[in-house]
Amino acid sequence: MKFICIGRNYAEHIAELQHAPPSEPVFFMKPESAITRCNRPFFIPDFSKEVHYETEVIVKINRLGRSIQERFAHRYYDEIGLGVDFTARDLQRKCIQEGEPWEIAKAFDGSAVVGSFFPKEELPDAQDLHFHLLLNGQKVQCGHTRDMLFSIDKIIAYVSRFVMLKMGDIIFTGTPVGVGAVHINDHLQGFLEERKAFDFKVK
């Protein structure tokens, strides 16, 4: 499996990082080895001094597809969850400045926290979902999927023009405003429509 991650999908987050809004979805990938699951701790890597949390709605692909039409994209996932796209912001800034790929900042071991998934039919419409992150009990990120620049179906259609989607692939759909650094012993809890999707410590 692979992780496909969308960058710059919420206007206020784009503004906080002082980027320009994209005209097409921006995506990058993480390998399977990036996964952190089952509320295991996240370990801050030694190569970064500024690792940020990015809370994101995640979608699990349930069948093989390429060049999927947007109107059929909803058939390619039946579970929605919440995860964290951990990002070595200091390294990412350097990559962007130097015009280099983002992998060292995004694809490192443990950087893709996968929380619980919930069946689509138990949730409101995919573009009508609230989610939030508590950092040490304080709400630091709060998003709504209606604010995505590119909807989940649009993302699936766009990405599958370039990369075949396979069963078990997970799409991270972008983070809202409020990203910030994590520190040792931080406690992160994520909620999707008030359902707890992850609960873990930073080590």
Residue 72 CA to its chain's centroid (Å): 22
Q: In the bound complex, what is the minimum distance in angstroms from residue 8's beta carbon to Mg ion?
A: 9
Nearer to Mg ion, 7 or 65 (CB): 7
User: In the stretch 66-95, what mask flags binding to Mg ion with x, by CB under 5 A?
Assistant: -------------------x----------
Phi/psi of residue 109, each to 5°? -55, 135
Listed in order, strand segments (DSSP E) in 62-168 are 77-85, 87-88, 112-119, 130-135, 138-144
Nearer to Mg ion, 14 or 157 (CB): 14
Cβ 138 vs Cβ 106: under 8 Å: no
Any bridge partners for residue 77, and if so which? 61
- CA 62, 68, 73, 76: dihedral to nearest 10 degrees? -10
Q: Does position 57 bind Mg ion by CB under 5 A? A: no
Q: In the bound complex, what is the minimum distance in angstroms from residue 171's beta carbon to Mg ion?
A: 11
User: Which residues, numbered 26-55, are part of the site for Mg ion (CB under 5 A)?
Assistant: 54
Nearer to Mg ion, 53 or 117 (CB): 53
Q: Does position 175 bind Mg ion by CB under 5 A? A: yes
Residues found near Mg ion in the complex (CB under 5 A): 54, 85, 175
